[in-house]
């Protein structure tokens, strides 16, 4: 059995749909209680652990950094320590927000980090805590997560596109939209592989292809959904947010394909699947 921290988040819900996992809800494992999270690992004695739970409110983290750090850093550190004690592999989901978003080249796992805000700092601290525990682990940095549930860009665009005939969307932030179902499948394969091949531990990147701007992503959403809403490009400076967003969220995912045989998914195919899921309810 693979133990999953998280039950209602986008990736956790997709992991539950794929099966073969036991998902821990917030009631069962509160990430503000790191010792309690470690106790769950000891009690369940799983083959592997996937941490799909996180504090993801990027803007709110600017005023709740201590809470974000507790959930995104302290809890994964405790999980990693419990896993290391028992020789259990841990897959920790992280984010492109650990980088400063400069340049235009895809970020490689070994590139210097430089988070722009509290959320990115908390996720980077989580990576460091997991690595410091010394156990078998894989850190999977991903970006622009979307699915048929939860709060995400696809659902927001569908709602707004049905209400309006024109939207302005940022066009100078570039990245790879990543369907949560593909992230879940990647995490499962990585976890199972690490059980048998612990030498494949390390930090990896995973995002959808091709890289695109938020504005072009929005256009594809409208086109696939059959909505007539027009998308107008704007620069980031015209859409200010409490937390700065990376301009360059491109990720070099070649390591994941080389080591685990996991290729970048076509997010346009994933988008069609998301729309079908929403249609079917």
Question: Model confidence over 202-257: pLDDT tens digits?
Answer: 999 999 999 999 999 999 999 999 999 999 999 999 999 999 999 999 999 999 99
Encode the chain in three state secondary structure.
CEEEECCCCHHHHHHHHHCCEEEECCCCCCCCCHHHHHHHHHHHCCCEEEECCCCCCCCHHHCCHHHHHHHHHHHHHHHHHHHHHHCCCEEEEEEHHHCCCCCCCCECCCCCCCCCCHHHHHHHHHHHHHHHCCCCEEEEEECCEECCCCCCHHHHHHHHHHHCCEEEEECCCEECCEEHHHHHHHHHHHHHHHHHCHHHCEEEEECCECCEEHHHHHHHHHHHHCCCCEEEEECHHHCCCCCCCCCEECECCHHHHHHHCCCCCEHHHHHHHHHHHHHHC
State the Cα–Cα distance between residues 264 and 254, nearest whole angstrom: 9
pLDDT bucket at 168, cuts 50 / 70 / 90: very high
As annotated, the active-site residues are 119
What average pLDDT does the segment 198-205 reach?
98
Tokens of 279: 């249609």
Across the chain, what does the average pLDDT equal? 97
By DSSP bridging, strand 48-51 and strand 2-5 are parallel
Q: What angle do CA 183, 272, 207 make, to 5 degrees?
A: 30
| Domain 2-280 CATH (choose: 1.10.1060.10, 3.40.50.720, 3.40.50.1010, 3.40.190.10) | 3.40.50.720
Residue 45 has pLDDT above 90, yes or no: yes
Q: CB under 8 Å to 41, separation ≥6 — which residues?
A: 3, 49, 79, 82, 83, 86, 88
Residue 42 has pLDDT above 90, yes or no: yes
What average pLDDT does the segment 47-74 reach?
97
pLDDT bucket at 174, cuts 50 / 70 / 90: very high
The pLDDT of residue 281 is 75
Tokens of 87: 């020789």
What average pLDDT does the segment 124-131 reach?
98
State the Cα–Cα distance between residues 212 and 170, nearest whole angstrom: 11
Q: CB under 8 Å to 17, separation ≥6 — which residues?
A: 181, 184
Residue 87 has pLDDT above 80, yes or no: yes
pLDDT bucket at 79, cuts 50 / 70 / 90: very high
pLDDT bucket at 108, cuts 50 / 70 / 90: very high
Q: Any idea which residue has 């890289």 for tokens?
A: 211
State the Cα–Cα distance between residues 36 and 152, nearest whole angstrom: 29
- Domain ranges across the chain: 2-280
The pTM for the full model equals 0.96
């Amino acid at each position: 059995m693979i133990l999953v921290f998280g039950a209602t988040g986008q990736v956790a819900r997709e992991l539950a749909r794929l099966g073969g996992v036991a998902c821990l809800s917030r009631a069962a494992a509160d990430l503000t209680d790191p010792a309690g999270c470690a106790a769950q690992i000891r009690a369940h004695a799983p083959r592997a652990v996937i941490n799909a739970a996180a504090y993801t409110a990027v803007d709110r983290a600017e005023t709740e950094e201590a809470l974000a750090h507790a959930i995104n850093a302290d809890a994964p550190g405790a999980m990693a320590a419990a896993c290391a004690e028992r020789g259990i592999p841990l897959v920790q989901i992280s984010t492109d927000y650990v980088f400063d978003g400069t340049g235009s080249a895809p970020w490689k796992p070994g590139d210097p980090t430089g988070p722009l805000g509290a959320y990115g700092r908390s996720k980077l601290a989580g990576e460091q805590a997991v690595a410091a525990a010394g156990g078998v682990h894989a850190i999977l940095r991903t970006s622009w997560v979307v699915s048929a549930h939860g709060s995400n860009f696809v659902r927001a665009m569908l709602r707004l596109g049905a209400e309006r005939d024109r939207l302005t969307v940022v066009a100078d932030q570039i990245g790879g939209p990543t369907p949560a179902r593909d992230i879940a499948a990647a995490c499962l394969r990585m976890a199972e592989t690490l059980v048998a091949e612990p030498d494949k531990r390390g930090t990896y990147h995973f995002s959808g292809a091709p890289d695109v701007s938020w504005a072009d992503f929005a256009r594809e959403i409208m086109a696939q959904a059959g909505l007539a809403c027009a998308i107008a490009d704007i620069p980031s400076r015209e859409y200010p947010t409490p937390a700065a967003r990376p301009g360059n969220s491109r990720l070099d995912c070649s390591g994941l394909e080389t080591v685990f045989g996991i290729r970048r998914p076509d997010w346009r195919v994933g988008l069609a699947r998301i729309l079908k899921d929403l249609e079917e309810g």
